[in-house]
Structure 1
Amino acid sequence: MLTKTLSWTAVCAAEDVVPHTGVCALVEGRHVAVFRLADDRFAAIDNIDPKSGASVLSRGLVGSLGERVVVASPLYKNHFDLATGECLEAPEHSVRVHAVRVEDGRVLVALN
């Protein structure tokens, strides 16, 4: 079985992202939304809203629906699970989730 080696890209300083908000980053030509959660964990998903095609998910409101931590798209208000990328209202509009970590105070993202 082949294992994919992740290629990590530094996108910003961890302190530059306010808790409960997101930022947009360009990683290997792909628009990625990176979110800082309440407990200083980070999550990353595609930034393109699949319904509109606009690069806006990083501007959405971060919150929770039940046990799920989600972001609400600022355009159509669809909720995207930050752990799975699933669009709760329309699963066919789900987005990709990307690996994210903090190292030496920098946020790094690797496309999945």
Structure 2
Amino acid sequence: MSSTTTSTASMTDMDDADARIERLARKRAGAKLGWYIHATVYVAVNLLLVLLAASGGRHWAIYPALGWGLGLAIHGLTVFLATGGGGLHERLVQQERNRLASQRDAW
């Protein structure tokens, strides 16, 4: 009876661990995807600002680009230093699953 109880308990623990890994993998992949979206919007908006500034013969567009660029850099550092890597959302989720599963096996 104790071996069945132990086996059932370990299966439940593994299911809980897999669920935690899945949640964490999706969270990390979402953070990376969020940074890619942030970077895309940054480039698009700043290109528009440069075009507007150039049409008026001014160079003011550098100021919002520098300020926002600093924010984008900080965002990137927090995302990629905390999670380590990049790619499309599903590939990111799979990478995080694999990474977290291997960490669990090392315990």
Alignment TM-score > 0.5, same fold = no
Structure number with greater Rg is: 2
Higher strand share: 1
TM-score category of the 2 structures, normalised to the smaller one: under 0.3
TM-score, L = length of structure 2: 0.23
Q: Which has the higher helix share?
A: 2
- Structure with more relative contact order (C-alpha pairs < 8 Å, separation 6 or more): 2
